[in-house]
Structure 1
Amino acid sequence: MEIMEIIKEAMVFPSKDIVKLAVYIALSVVSVLLGAFGIIYLAIGVASQSFWIIIGLIAFIAALILGFITTGYIVSIIRSGIEHEESAPQFMWKENLVTGIKFVVLNIVYFIIPAIVVLILGWATNLFGMASIMFTRMMYASMAAPANATVTIADVVPQSMIISFGNSLIIVGIVAFILFVIFGFLETMGQCRLAKTDSLGYAVNIPEAFRDIGRIGFGKVIGLTVLIFVIILVINCIISGLNAYIAGFSILSIIVTPYLSFFAARASGLLYSDIA
């Protein structure tokens, strides 16, 4: 399929089965609420050393389970695109839960490499050391200064260190951006490989994921991924902009965000179907 054909089909796809989209939305909302309550009650329980910590743990674990289920379901949406199924798949609670856990592991595997490289580069350029020194000096200077005084970074840190820190930050930032973009493309292929086979070992085969991009076409993969990103960004910006004029308009995100998740997953599956 051509890029625009994929976009058109994927954009319509979520509306073909409103019931399953509604179930996904409900599960996502409940998961977020349980997670928030879990964190609050955990904090209360730790502070007061009371039974609320148990309530918080239960709510937090329930939120994680629902999160894994919804994540696993998104993988099944990718599979529906690979297999060109007409409508959204059924919820398979146990399978979705297991797949969601695999998906999280997959993301850790793909992004731990660029994370380690960035950390090593930050250490090699002394970025973290300089940041620690600058933060400590600012903190002590702020504590020692009169209440109405304003302390700037230039007052407590030599200009040479500020320049060195800025240069290191630029270098690390550029490398981090490049690496995470590259591994983001690879991770997309990993998601599709997981959706196709349900095998974590198959999904985390990074060299084969790279070859999959070549088989589909680097231009097509990059073009579709960028277009999906732009569409999601524009829609979210429109919602944010309208919220500035219409109070509460951002509540639409509860519906729009899951819809866009279906859209992006379906598009990825259709893309991968070229070589499946």
Structure 2
Amino acid sequence: MEIVEIIKDAVHYPIDHPKDLLIFIVLDIIVTAMGYLVGMGGIIHTMQSDITNSIITMTSSGAIPAFNYLLIQAGTAGIIAVIIVFIINLFLNGYGLDIAKLGIERKDEGPKIDIVRQILNGIKLIIVNFVYMFVPILIMLILMQIHEVIGGIIGLAALIVFGFALLMAQCRLAKNESLMDALNIPEAMKDISKVGIVKILAILVVIFLITFILTFISSIIVKICVPLGINLFVGPILSALIGAFSFFLSYRAIGLMYSDVE
């Protein structure tokens, strides 16, 4: 498929499946509400799923130390809330993979709910994300012991390459639901050239721009609502709506992007 066709289809996909979109929005609001109820809203948001979130993100953002501290402070209620939120996010990761799979198969139907399978696929996705980020970081750390500057440059290049490979691995996981297939790094690297680096970059940039524009418009609406005193009500709803739309858009787009790979 051409880039324009992919983006056009991906934009229409969440609009054409309002019931599926509503499921994500409700779960997103539940996750956010549970976080704030136990005083952990910031950490809960750190755990929100998207096509690139992983353990690496939490580690680099400093969320894990804060997470441990808040567990102590929040007690049993906090622990239960975090477990529920973690399970929901695993489910959403697997749900997103199903959206990508439907894109790969070029089917217009919405994703069906299969909680156990989708949670298991969500776990697989976390493992895949971790492996594909761990390898280049390890390479960088080893090379920087030899020469800091050169090691840093090579390590950065490795991070970029493995970032593209990770995207292909996520598609491979969505297509076959096979962890070993997704962790086949050489084949994932080959898939980059099959899809085309220009197409991958173009689609990622367009997804980012669409999400940025929607978020910007949302922030303006929330500011307008401040004098009316309804910003605290409107803000979370808009955030959940944009998050759901971007989620469906992203997974659908990468699935369609990968649909030409045999």
Query: Given the alignment of the two structures, is residue 46 of structure 1 paired with residue 32 of structure 2, yes or no?
Result: no
Aligned CA distance change for structure 1 residues 114 and 240 (closer, same or farther; 3 Å): farther
Query: Given the alignment of the two structures, is residue 269 of structure 1 paired with residue 258 of structure 2, yes or no?
Result: no
The 10-residue stretch of structure 1 (4-13 or 56-65) with the greater mean CA deviation from structure 2: 56-65
Q: CA–CA distance in 2 between the matches of 1:178 and 1:235?
A: 31
Deviation at 1:59, TM superposition (A): 1.6
Q: CA–CA distance in 1 between the matches of 2:87 and 2:187?
A: 30
Q: Which residue of 1 aligns with 2:126?
A: 104
Query: Given the alignment of the two structures, is residue 182 of structure 1 paired with residue 165 of structure 2, yes or no?
Result: no
Query: Given the alignment of the two structures, is residue 88 of structure 1 paired with residue 110 of structure 2, yes or no?
Result: yes
Aligned CA distance change for structure 1 residues 121 and 237 (closer, same or farther; 3 Å): farther
Query: Given the alignment of the two structures, is residue 235 of structure 1 paired with residue 221 of structure 2, yes or no?
Result: no
TM-score by length of 1: 0.73
Q: Which residue of 2 aligns with 1:11?
A: 11
Q: Deviations over 1:39-77 (max 9, x none)?
A: 759857735xxxx62332222111111110011100000
Q: Deviations over 1:61-111 (max 9, x none)?
A: 111111100111000000010111112111111111111111111100111
Q: Which runs of 5+ in 2 are unaligned?
A: 41-66
Q: Which runs of 5+ in 1 are unaligned?
A: 127-167
Aligned CA distance change for structure 1 residues 36 and 243 (closer, same or farther; 3 Å): closer
Q: CA–CA distance in 1 between the matches of 2:71 and 2:156?
A: 39
Q: CA–CA distance in 1 between the matches of 2:68 and 2:78?
A: 5
Deviation at 1:256, TM superposition (A): 0.8
Q: CA–CA distance in 2 between the matches of 1:120 and 1:228?
A: 34
Q: CA–CA distance in 1 between the matches of 2:69 and 2:259?
A: 46
SS across alignment from 2:108: coil
Q: Is the 8 A contact 2:100 2:254 kept in 1?
A: yes
Q: 2:99 corresponds to which letter in structure 1?
A: I
The 10-residue stretch of structure 1 (178-187 or 29-38) with the greater mean CA deviation from structure 2: 29-38
Deviation at 1:250, TM superposition (A): 4.1
Percent identity of equivalent pairs:
32
TM-score by length of 2: 0.76
Q: Is the 8 A contact 1:82 1:269 kept in 2?
A: yes
Match of 2:241 among 251, 255, 266: 255
Deviation at 1:116, TM superposition (A): 2.3
Aligned CA distance change for structure 1 residues 256 and 46 (closer, same or farther; 3 Å): closer
Q: How many residues align?
A: 229
Q: 2:177 corresponds to which letter in structure 1?
A: D
Q: Which residue of 2 aligns with 1:27?
A: 27
Q: Mark the structure with the bigger radius of gyration.
A: 1
SS across alignment from 1:107: helix
Aligned CA distance change for structure 1 residues 106 and 36 (closer, same or farther; 3 Å): farther
Q: Deviations over 1:166-213 (max 9, x none)?
A: xx7xx94x6665443322211111111001100011011111111111
